[in-house]
Amino acid sequence: MAKRIGVLTGGGDCPGLNPALKGLVLGAHHGAGNIEVIGLRDGWKSLVQEDLARMGPSPDQFFGKDQFWKILTPEAVESWDAEGGTNLGSSRTNPYKKGAEREEQVIRNVEAMKLDALVAIGGEDTLGVALKLHRKGVPVVGVPKTIDKDLPGTEYTLGFETAVQIITDEVDRVRTTAGSHSRTFVIETMGRHAGHLALQGGIGAGAYIILIPEHPYNVARVVKLLADRKAQGARYSIVVIAEGARSDTMKEPFSSGSLRDTGFAHVALGGIGELLRAQIEQATDWDLRSVNLSHLQRGGAPGAYDRRMGRTYGAAAADLCRKGDWGKMVTLREGRVTAAPLTDIDGPLLTVDLDREYDTNRYNARRAAIL
């Protein structure tokens, strides 16, 4: 059984991370044999420091300028489940960007800190690093988070439901001004490879058209659908489009061409909503606007579902540490929280099931629920 574990949050922040940290700490201090939890600052960045063990601990409330770890107690995390983002901080630091040199630094720090295991809370990139370390013999446990909900091996990733609620709320606000001025709005959401956010947020907000990465759209078809709706007397229309969506004339999703942050070198997406707005405007004389929800989707306090799932995922991670069940990821499968091999993240991303969830003719959710 582990006696001392480190925990980090990596990649983009989202609601649900702090509840997971609280769940982990409470779970670690529950039952026979308390487990000490060390909070590691700014994801994998903490573990590539030259001498991590001598850089802390930080005071309970704040990290010092050059301090990268602190002891997490139940008292210290008492109110964390109501807070958005991550109180440990995050980064997109990739220990493998510079080869084996930084991997060895991570392993040295784990040993110097006398950590029996690492709990990594993150998405594909963060858990991919955890998997590589596991293959090198480092005891690791993963907790899945990403508002895109596209991570293989689990039916739920932290942050998704809160992000859907934010999209719904923001589109509701857009709807009132759209109706007042008889406008068509194109709303861009996140969703690089999968359209879960756009689809579920669009359903929640009653969008007329929803465009997702899984199915290329035809601009002329979009215009016709909107024109038909206008001809029926509708004062406004809402189009929701995922950042990774593309038309049938595009080979790749729309991109600025820049690289995002450090380490994992993802090409930054964004702007497809404005591009589509301009294309519709070119074909019509309508009053159109575009809005990119951008980081609004991952901000703010977690909703009730992410608070509950975060607490549960964190507690489950503590259970795995208590059992010494390494190389696993906490997961939701068939409505039940369990654990799966971390190697599952090497599988295909979880995308929208077009046959069951999406009407490729109407560019919206299927109207049939039982197929």
| Stated length of the chain | 371
Peptide bond into 144 cis (omega under 30): no
Q: Are 209 and 364 in contact, with CB atoms under 8 Å apart? A: yes
Task: Give a three-class secondary structure readout of 57-78.
Answer: CCCCCCCCCCCCEEEECCCCCC
In the numeric block, the tokens 């770890």 are attached to 69
What are 346's two structure tokens? 């090497």
Helices (H), 93-231: 100-112, 124-135, 160-181, 196-205, 219-231
* Selected catalytic residue, list 13, 42, 81, 148: 148
Give me Rg for the CA atoms of the chain: 22
- Asked about 148 being catalytic, the answer comes back as yes
Q: How far is CA 250 from CA 224, 255, 272, 351, in A?
A: 20, 11, 11, 20
Distances (CA, A) of 218 to 72, 188, 202: 52, 17, 19
Q: Which residues carry out catalysis?
A: 148
